[in-house]
Structure formats: C-alpha cells, structure tokens
Amino acid sequence: MTTLLDDLVSKALRRERPTRSEALAVLGGAEELLDVVAAGAKVRREFFGKRVKLNTIINMKSGLCPEDCSYCSQRLGSATEILKYSWITPEAAADTADAAVRAGAKRVCLVASGRGPGNRDITRIETTIEAIKKDNPHVEVCVCLGLLSDGQAERLAKAGAHAYSHNLNTSEERYADICTTHTFADRVDTLKQAGAAGLSPCSGAIFGMGESDSDIVDLAVALRELDPDSVPVNFLIPFEGTPLGQRWELTPERCLRILALFRFYFPDVEVRLAGGREIHLRGMQPLALHLANSIFLGDYLTSEGQPGEDDRQMIADAGFVVEGVEEQTLPGARHDLVAVRRRGAGTGLPSNT
Ligand code: SF4
C-alpha cells in the first residue's frame, strides 16, 4: 500500500501535478512535517542535487509607487520609513552586481517600483544590462519593472535580459483584496508577453496575507499553467505603516508545508526561497533548503536580509553547495516534451499537417 507522500513523490518525478485533495492534505497536516519535508527533498534531490542557486536583488528605484498593493512598503500612502530614491545609475548597479557575483550570486534581479516602465525606463535598463555584462558577461539578469507595454519585453530580451519576473502573489479570487489598482489578469498578461519575447518567465507568490489552503492550491495551479522557469516563494514581511503590517500569521511549519507543496507542483522548476524566510522560518531555514533549490543573497527591496556569510555557512552546514556559474540550473533532460509520433505515415491516422 502506498501512502499519500509516496504517490506525490512518484508523480513529481514524472512531472505530474498533485490532485487538489492531495495538495490540501499536505497543507492541512494529514502527514507529519518531517515526512513531508523528506518527501519534497527526494524530488528536489532528483532534479537539483545538492546545489543552491544564489540570486541578488538590486532595487533600482525605491518607494513612491502609485499602486496600492497592500503588502508593499513602497505602495501609495505607505507610512513605512523605507529608503526612497529615483533611479540609481547603471554604474552603481553594475558595482553592486559585481560585488554580489563575487559573493556567489548567479542571477541579478533589477527591480523598480511603479505600475510599469516607460520607454525611457527601458532605455535605462538596457544601459544597465550593458554595464553589468561588461565585467560579468555570464551573470543572468532578471528584470522586474511591473506591467509591460507592447514591445518592451522584446527590447529587454534584445538587450541581454535573461528573465522577466512578475509575481501573481495570490489567487485570482483574492486578488482584489490585496490590490485595487491592477488585476490578476494584468499580471498574467505581462508574464505571457515576457515569455513570448523569449524571456525566461519568473513568477511566484506571497504567503501570510490571510489566504486559505484552497487559495494556495488555486495559486499553485494558476502558476503552473503559466509554465514558469522560476517560482519565488515569499512570506509576508509585515511592514508597519502598510495595511498588512499587523499580520503575523505564519509559523515555520506552515512555511515548510507551503514550500513542500510548491516542490510537488514545480518538481523541476527553480523554486526560490525569497523574502521573509529569516523572520518566519527562523532556525528552520536549513530544512527549507531541502525543498527550495534557490535563495536570495543579501538584502531585499526595502528590508535587510541576513548576512551573506551566514547564508553561505548555513548552506555548507546543511550539506549543500553553492551552484557554480558554469552549472545549468534547470534539468537539461525534458523527456516530457518529446512526444513519440503515433499519427501520419505508418498509422491509420491523418498526419499533423
Ligand atoms: S508591489 Fe510593485 S506595483 Fe505594487 S505597490 Fe509595490 S512597487 Fe508598486
């Protein structure tokens, strides 16, 4: 007789997604936490071995956003005392990127507050990518500028951006509860534009905003339909001065169950442990490395992360290694994409023409 977790592991190794009831059982505590982590770890090990990819965030423009995302310290009307500044220069961004690469980062995420970029902003980012690549030609540059307009994704791809990041954040049903100035559909549309332009799609979530288990499953399903290459899993950082500033509802166990569920939904995709890990997982962060294969190194957009040295020590202590620049993150073998022909010549079925 197989257990729920055996079935989930077998399915994940075949890249099949969990059923809704299986997913709800993982979140609901039907299985012991350490058994859930061990099951997720088997899947993580199969596709990513012991590697941990390091990423770093550069906040190109901070604060003063006209949008009202209720989790965000940069939102319209935020009373959080964050750093506020307009665009940093391409040279300043390149210097920051260079320091991060020397500390082990493989991906640099260029992020700017705002609803979306104007064409002058895209020009700024093009120049910034050029400045970063001058000294670090192999670093992956991911761009995160909000909602894109026609032609902007193509410009970013041409400038050498590797990926575009735009989180769905929460389920479609709950989206209007966390933001009223744009919609879930707007976000999906931008992700599709980025993917169509050849940028690697990066999209994830923020948990701890009052969502139910059912919302979490809805979001995982919606994200999987977008077929992202990387999925950041954030845990709400409740900034005082934002509408969600008093929400401290996450426990380390809840975070680990969510991460395990995301590993089952995204077995061979980069699952990135993102903002909020220090404050919500606390001493349980090393266990999360058995589920996520990627973390952010250094500070976040408007809050400080734990020192890079502590992260590198934690990775080594837990028996993992930092992924090298020459190593491929995603598995190269995608046999699920190869369909053996069963129509046309030699069969009784019409050909696919
Ligand atoms: S998440 Fe982005 S769009 Fe929303 S308020 Fe913050 S900076 Fe603005």
Sketch the domain layout of the chain as residue ranges. Answer: 4-326
Question: Quick check: 117 pLDDT over 80?
Answer: yes
Identify the three-state secondary structure at position 163.
strand
Residue 341, pLDDT score: 82
Q: Which two tokens stand for residue 293?
A: 């294969």
Angle at 166 between CA 65 and CA 102, to 5 degrees: 95
Chain mean position to CA 35: 25
Q: For ligand 1, which residues put their CB under 6 angstroms from it?
A: 65, 67, 69, 72, 74-75, 113, 115, 146
Q: Give residue 335's pLDDT band: very low, low, confident or very high (50, 70, 90).
A: low
179 is catalytic: no
Q: Count CB-CB contacts under 10 A for residue 28.
A: 11
CA-nearest of 123, 93, 118, 92 to 108 is 93
CA distance 212 to 191: 25
CA distance 62 to 11: 42
Q: Give residue 334's pLDDT band: very low, low, confident or very high (50, 70, 90).
A: low
Pocket probe mutation, ligand 1, options 57, 60, 70, 74, max atoms within 8 Å of Cβ: 74
Which residue owns the Cα nearest ligand 1 atom 7? 113
Residue 65 alpha carbon, nearest atom of ligand 1: 8
CA-nearest of 299, 304, 290, 284 to 262 is 290
Q: Residue range 331-336: average pLDDT?
A: 66
144 is catalytic: no
Pocket probe mutation, ligand 1, options 64, 65, 144, 236, max atoms within 8 Å of Cβ: 65
CA distance 115 to 117: 7
Residue 224, pLDDT score: 97
Does the pTM surpass 0.75? The reply is: yes
Name the CATH superfamily, with its identifier, for domain 4-326.
Aldolase class I (3.20.20.70)
Which residue owns the Cα nearest ligand 1 atom 4? 69
Question: Quick check: 181 pLDDT over 70?
Answer: yes
Q: Please state, rounded to an integer, the average pLDDT across all residues of the chain.
A: 94
Please write the tens of the pLDDT for every residue from 251-309.
Answer: 999 999 999 999 999 999 999 999 999 999 999 999 999 999 999 998 999 999 999 99
Residue 147, pLDDT score: 97
Question: Quick check: 337 pLDDT over 80?
Answer: no
Specify whether the CB–CB gap between 289 and 249 falls below 8 A.
no
Q: For residue 174, what is the DSSP state?
A: G
Give the active site residue among 75, 107, 109, 174. 109
**294, β-bridge pairs:** 53, 272
CA distance 158 to 143: 13
Cα dist from 116 to 94, 103, 112, 121, 187, whole Å: 22, 30, 9, 9, 11
Residue 333, pLDDT score: 62
